[in-house]
Structure 1
Amino acid sequence: MAADELEDEVATTDTAVADDADGDEEAEKLSLDVKVAKPSACERRITVTVSREDIDRYLDKAFSDLMPSASVPGFRVGRAPRKLVVQKFKGDVADQVKGSLLMDSLAQVADEEEFAAISEPDLDLEAVEIPDEGPLTFEFSIEVRPEFDLPKWKGLKLKRPMQKFAPEDIDRQIEQMLAKYGQLAPHDGAAEEGDYLVLTLRGMADGKEISRDEDRVVRLRPTLSFVDGRIQDFLKLAKGAKAGDKLTAEVKLSASAPNEELRGKDVTLEIEVLEVKKLRLPELDEEFLGEIGGFKTEGDFRDAVQKDLERQLEYEQQKVARNQISEMLTESADWDLPPSLLKRQSVRELERAVMEMRRSGFSEGEIRARENELRQNSSVSTAAALKEHFILERIAEEENLDVEDGDYDREIFLISMQSGESPRRVRAQLEKRGLMDVLRNQIIERKVMELVQAEAKFQDEDFTPPKSTVEGVPFAVGGAEGDIPEAVGAIEAEDKDD
């Protein structure tokens, strides 16, 4: 049972074991015998034995607190003999004392043992019983941060990509930004690169349909990425297609595909082209410029677009630096990570990566493509990210780095710029989805990275951003879509009455 559930259990009892009524400032410590086993670097199996003296002390205190309000037939309230009160309320008081002993024991173990917990204790409350005689023994498992010597992080030698933005770079970015305001118009001709296709997708295995996605709008790019695989030659396959055409491709499912039975196997994808459409971009007139950001002139808008490009360059610089730093810091981090921790953390890593791209102003298509890439390589990328996180967290603690309210405000404002939502609405969405802790970790990790880079030596290199060649869609060709985590990090508009 998780600690918060245990707290709820204790809170429902009639009387909690507390400090003595005379107002002692500190409760008497329990006499615990604690044995800690280490199944792996990130796991602890803990056996706790509570002495009989402590059990009797808690029971005595509980019955003493109960006596003034105990109602026993034949006696006025609070006037029944203690022996009869014990007899009548033994079961209730035992449950109350059990909860109090467990909570106090867990708190004392957390204070006295030298490990940093990263999960709630896995404790089965129902399996624990107060014995009539002798000590109380219970066991629980908990995930912890591994113990390691902090690697040298000052004075690292890093490469840094640099770019000067030309007018044509701004033009390409404007076209990409305007795409979300454009209109898709039907096109009778053959599809060309950059056109939009309305498709019906059917995954087939052994002649049976295992997945279907209807009316999916896909931009024609060289590669089409799914949650569990990709078509590398999608442009070659679909270029020249018209409404009514049917295409076929083989998709090799990734090792982390939601459908476990088909992982690593080839699945046939049948594609029906329903429509071909071209994107009509809006005119950059005064009215439109005012609607999308209160810009007075096209020059103001272009200046804002250049700042977006600079943020994306900053993202690329941070990504390149982070990859180099992570590789150097985790070189000796050979800890075994439990599969349960990796599975749970893979969702968090996906959330962090998507949120980072949103605050850097990338398009939905680029974010989706990156999201699918992470899903397809989740086990490897998650293990590396988790080891990196443990090390960065240690540095943050030693350097007293923390998050301030203004840090949250800045991150949320940047995310709102990409999503088109107000900062207030973005914050509400993050809180509703339980992502504020992910945002906090992202801020802390960035602060540590900035500190590491401030102590590093850089060598600048020319950088040309790669052309966007991947179109990502939230569809699992192999099926079992119910097992796919929700598209994390996305700040989408909800119904007005939500």
Structure 2
Amino acid sequence: MQVTETLSEGLKRELKIVVPATELDSRLSARLEEMKGQVQLKGFRPGKVPVAHLRRIYGKSAMAEIVQNVLNETARKTLEERGERAAMQPSFDLPEDEAEAGDVLAGKKDLAYTMTYEVLPKFTLGDFRGIKVDRPVAEVTDEEVDTQVKQLANDSSEFQPKEGAAESGDRLTISYVGKIDGEPFEGGADENGLVQIGTGRFIPGFEDQLIGATVGEERVLNVTFPEEYGAKQLAGKAATFDVVVKEISAPVATTVDDEWAKKFGIESLEKLRETIREQMQGQLGQATRTKVKRQLLDALDERHTFELPPTMVEQEFQNVWNQVTQDLERAGRTFADEDTTEEAAKADYRKIAERRVRLGLVLSEIGEQANIQVTDEEVQRALVERIRQFPGQEKQVYDFYRENPEALASLRAPIFEEKVVDYLLELADVTDKTVTREELMKEDEDDAKA
């Protein structure tokens, strides 16, 4: 095999590789000898098929398989010998001429092709020890737990049909048709809609206009969709709803005690409160983790500047951009609605893609130097959690990950990243800062918008 470098520009590499026809033919002969004892052809006893006959029948298909193996083996061996790590799977430019390709598959001509790839950049890690981090910490108060218990009691209330006019807290079964400028709009109708007055789950003003309604009554409700409403075609627009009240039910007072708690599979009200507190504290802890991680990543980003593999950046950008455009399409919005242009948005998201790739390489290098490992058991747990997200399709999901190494690697990557973050936190200069729940969660909202 002959390897000649034809391009070395930045992180880009191009190699001209020639594999002698004699080597290919040798591999083909060995493969045909293996097949000799496996194939069964009419007129021949098992294991007695002449190799020459096998070559005529299976030669080209076997050689195609050999060529693919040679490409993979040569790529791996060449990178090892050159001491390089490819940023992504190398690409191969094979002979396009049909006659030439046919000669290669027939074992009559050397296999000459071009291998193109980008190498991972070599860089020196900046000083990541002692990064200063302010860790916002919020504690769940008794009042917040009380509010959650009250909300849970309200959500689990039973309702009984009542006579008379609807009041705040009552649940109504209604049929309705929404209209804009007198014309019904898509998704604005329901024959058996449920609405509980006072929950604020419908368009502002919708529930309040049902107070005083009685069974069988028809009402026309006048509302205005919020400016930030998800469906662009409705946002900010005035609408009417033709409503018919079909049933009115009043909530049955809930006694919040140990017996009520047992409805949720918990032995007592005290244990239920503890469970709620733990869940709320877990949410706050996750928000704290997000804030701390963001500070660490910002600090790492500031400390590192190096050339990035263009293909990695482009792939990451496409992933981000596809998500952005899909979200806008689902919401019925445009870039103009976001006070930007497509060109400006692309520039911003490309910077985000570059940051992600850069930080990914930095975290990988830190983890490698610290010998941080992800165990098979950890990946298996992540796979189980993933499978649970697709009830009824467990086997298909399991088979997909088992048969796709790249998909399995996508489960390993976030585990590795979180382990590196934990390692960095052990070395960081962390100062706890007590904040309220509102302050902590507002920061999360601001980050999400950013």
What is the TM-score when the length of structure 1 is the normalising length? 0.55
Q: Give the equivalent residue in structure 2 for 1:460.
A: 432
CA distance 1:461–1:96, change in 2 (3 Å): closer
Check if 1:114 corresponds to 2:84.
yes
Match of 1:94 among 58, 63, 87: 63
Check if 1:159 corresponds to 2:134.
yes
Match of 1:49 among 3, 8, 17: 17
CA distance 1:35–1:191, change in 2 (3 Å): farther
Superposition pairs of residues 7-156 of structure 1, within 5 angstroms: 31-33=2-4, 47=15, 49-52=17-20, 54-62=23-31, 78=48, 80=50, 82=52, 86=55, 89-109=58-78, 111-112=80-81, 114-115=84-85, 117=87, 129=101, 131=104, 132-139=108-115, 147-156=122-131
Q: Deviations over 1:43-68 (max 9, x none)?
A: x6755523225334334444555677
Q: Deviations over 1:438-490 (max 9, x none)?
A: 55333322222121111111222221122889xx9xxxxxxxxxxxxxxxxxx
Q: 1:448 is aligned with what amino acid?
A: V
Superposition pairs of residues 139-288 of structure 1, within 5 angstroms: 139=115, 147-175=122-150, 181=156, 212=187, 240=208, 242=210, 244-249=220-225, 267-269=233-235, 283-288=255-260
Distance, in Å, in 2 between the alignment partners of 1:35 and 1:223 is 67
Superposition pairs of residues 425-436 of structure 1, within 5 angstroms: 431=398
Check if 1:391 corresponds to 2:366.
no
Deviation at 1:161, TM superposition (A): 1.2
Match of 1:309 among 280, 285, 289: 280
Residue aligned with 2:430, SS:
strand
Residue aligned with 1:155, SS:
coil
Distance, in Å, in 1 between the alignment partners of 2:318 and 2:206 is 35
Bigger Rg, which one: 2
Superposition pairs of residues 337-348 of structure 1, within 5 angstroms: 338-344=313-319
Query: Cα RMSD over matched residues?
Result: 5.8
Distance, in Å, in 2 between the alignment partners of 1:217 and 1:397 is 56
Residue aligned with 1:133, SS:
coil
Q: Give the equivalent residue in structure 1 for 2:420.
A: 448
Q: 1:312 is aligned with what amino acid?
A: Q
Q: Deviations over 1:10-40 (max 9, x none)?
A: xxxxxxxxxxxxxxxxxxxx5444666679x
Residue aligned with 1:330, SS:
helix
Distance, in Å, in 2 between the alignment partners of 1:145 and 1:203 is 58
CA distance 1:318–1:268, change in 2 (3 Å): same
Q: Give the equivalent residue in structure 2 for 1:475.
A: none
Q: Give the equivalent residue in structure 1 for 2:293.
A: 322
Q: 2:127 is aligned with what amino acid?
A: K
Residue aligned with 1:161, SS:
strand
Whether the aligned pair in 2 keeps the contact of 1:72 and 1:85 (CA below 8 Å) is no
CA distance 1:330–1:81, change in 2 (3 Å): closer
Q: Give the equivalent residue in structure 2 for 1:6.
A: none
Residue aligned with 2:436, SS:
coil
Residue aligned with 1:104, SS:
helix
Deviation at 1:114, TM superposition (A): 1.9
Q: Deviations over 1:407-442 (max 9, x none)?
A: 5688799x89xxxx89x9999898588586555333
Aligned residues: 379
Distance, in Å, in 1 between the alignment partners of 2:382 and 2:113 is 47
Whether the aligned pair in 1 keeps the contact of 2:138 and 2:434 (CA below 8 Å) is yes
Q: Deviations over 1:349-378 (max 9, x none)?
A: 9xxxxxxxxxxxxxxxxxxx9xxxxxx999
Q: Give the equivalent residue in structure 2 for 1:486.
A: none
Deviation at 1:287, TM superposition (A): 4.0
Distance, in Å, in 1 between the alignment partners of 2:189 and 2:400 is 27
Whether the aligned pair in 2 keeps the contact of 1:199 and 1:272 (CA below 8 Å) is no
Match of 2:372 among 393, 396, 401: 401
Q: 1:328 is aligned with what amino acid?
A: A
Deviation at 1:326, TM superposition (A): 1.1
Q: 1:397 is aligned with what amino acid?
A: E
Deviation at 1:320, TM superposition (A): 1.1
Q: 2:278 is aligned with what amino acid?
A: K
Deviation at 1:189, TM superposition (A): 6.0
Deviation at 1:175, TM superposition (A): 4.3
Range that drifts further, 269-278 or 325-334? 269-278
Whether the aligned pair in 2 keeps the contact of 1:196 and 1:279 (CA below 8 Å) is no
Superposition pairs of residues 282-297 of structure 1, within 5 angstroms: 283-293=255-265, 295-297=266-268
Q: Give the equivalent residue in structure 2 for 1:484.
A: none
Q: 1:330 is aligned with what amino acid?
A: D
Residue aligned with 2:148, SS:
helix
Whether the aligned pair in 2 keeps the contact of 1:160 and 1:458 (CA below 8 Å) is yes
Q: Give the equivalent residue in structure 2 for 1:483.
A: none
CA distance 1:116–1:412, change in 2 (3 Å): same
CA distance 1:126–1:286, change in 2 (3 Å): farther
Q: Deviations over 1:363-398 (max 9, x none)?
A: xxxxxx9xxxxxx99974963455433332322222
Distance, in Å, in 1 between the alignment partners of 2:382 and 2:40 is 58
Identity of aligned residues (%): 16
What is the TM-score when the length of structure 2 is the normalising length? 0.60
Q: Give the equivalent residue in structure 1 for 2:213.
A: none
Distance, in Å, in 1 between the alignment partners of 2:65 and 2:39 is 15
Q: 1:245 is aligned with what amino acid?
A: L
Distance, in Å, in 2 between the alignment partners of 1:408 and 1:280 is 48
Deviation at 1:145, TM superposition (A): 5.7
Q: Give the equivalent residue in structure 2 for 1:359.
A: none
